[in-house]
Chain A
């Protein structure tokens, strides 16, 4: 584990620790701490979009052919999509170091 070093100084931190730039949460890579990833079996997928609706990090997006694909920068590996998929088309696979 790396040390948790400061990334900002107490004199340079924003007033009230406010975030002054709207929409900046997109810069926060929640995929950093994923320990498992969702893997899709296209054979089973009916393209219902439930995974896309339920993903708490909005990591899914719809592709041209109607399937849903995950942006691994934001997928935190929670497994909600796999749990909610009505067809059991998503399997959670452990990440390897």
Chain B
């Protein structure tokens, strides 16, 4: 029987990795690392997890090791965030096209400069196009569940793609929450052993990662992109089976009080729970406000998002990333492109908030909704605005 415990979310993720019985964990053990890797290294050192832990010299080496071990057919996990994720970046583009199902949990944090260790989404948004499946957890339970789901989906032979589960740094990674942990028997029912289509084997040599000459490169990129898009079916199936077994059902776009809502807040990650509070408060005052939370970010669930927001007059889209010089935040840009010239599309207003650990409270979300109501009548001058940025 699964048990509900108070547990730090990083430790819960490490427990999910133990239950997944990984073979190799390659990680840089120093900051910006979290307790996820610290706890996993303890589990391995004390014999509670039979795996190889490779304490590499950098995140670049961590992801390189992960590519090698996954190619050799080992179930592979790593974790990083912030500057560490950026140091990995060169290698992060490789396992997707090579179809290596590495699982990584990213504890989202801000990027330097100025130096800042707190939470926002700038690190993961800068790695948006690495060609991995990407999901966003809003609480500890989801962090645990989505980690197991990631192994299940990534390693499915129809998918065979790397997958990131994103949890908000500190707000989730360092906070104790109630989490229902599954037992080994339960996880075994859900997660079959890893059986890759191809693996590096000296007895049956193949080449992974050859040169892609101009006559081949485009087709290789399209094949990867098509595989990523097609993975949605397996992602949904993975959630359906999870719900059948354990009773918790996830969707690519989660909604809250969204039917009949005129305005929908659009959020990702942990501020979505704050947004639920904001929606309740505004509903109490008679405002027709709801919430659409993007849980699946890559591949982007376009049809599901359109369906989830059907009937809304406007979207108040929250970005936790400020891309300098861009037309709007990454989520704002994505949704404007999704709805461009779609008949009956909601108006889209983009708010950037919660950078580098700045709190996003109910009042800030209410401010975004109030502004959205005003902007429906009178278009704002700018395509986005930064909430709470003081001028003087």
Contact = CB atoms under 8 A, between A and B. Distances in A.
B97 interface: yes
Interface string A1-15: 000111111110101
B342 interface: no
B215 A17 contact: no
Interface string B186-227: 000000000001100000011111101011101110110010
A4 B215 CA distance: 6
- Most chain B beta-carbon neighbours within 10 Å: one of A16, A20, A22, A24: A16
B98 interface: yes
A15 B218 CA distance: 14
Question: How many A residues are at the interface, by size bracket?
Answer: 10 to 19
Interface in A38-64: none
A17 B220 contact: yes
Interface of A: 4-11, 13, 15-20, 22, 24
B320 interface: no
B99 interface: yes
A22 B205 contact: yes
Interface of B: 97-100, 160, 197-198, 205-210, 212, 214-216, 218-220, 222-223, 226
A22 B206 contact: yes
A31 to B, nearest CB: 16
A10 B212 CA distance: 13
B206 A10 contact: no
Contacts of B97: 16-17
> Mostly helix, strand, loop or mixed at chain A's interface?
loop
Given A17-B210, A19-B207, A19-B210, A6 B215 contact: yes
A32 B215 CA distance: 15
B231 to A, nearest CB: 14
Contacts of A16: 97-100, 160, 198, 208
A9 B218 CA distance: 9
A38 B305 CA distance: 63
B98 A8 contact: no
A25 to B, nearest CB: 8
Contact of B216 (A11, A13, A15): A13
Question: Considering the complex of A and B, which 10 residue pairs feature the smallest CB-CB distances, nearest first?
Answer: A19-B207, A16-B99, A10-B222, A4-B214, A22-B205, A10-B219, A7-B215, A10-B223, A17-B220, A16-B98
Contacts of A7: 215-216
Contacts of B205: 22
Given A13-B223, A17-B210, A17-B223, A8 B198 contact: no
A6 B198 contact: no
- Most chain A beta-carbon neighbours within 10 Å: one of B197, B214, B216, B223: B223
Contacts of A11: 223
Contacts of B98: 16-18
B208 A18 contact: yes
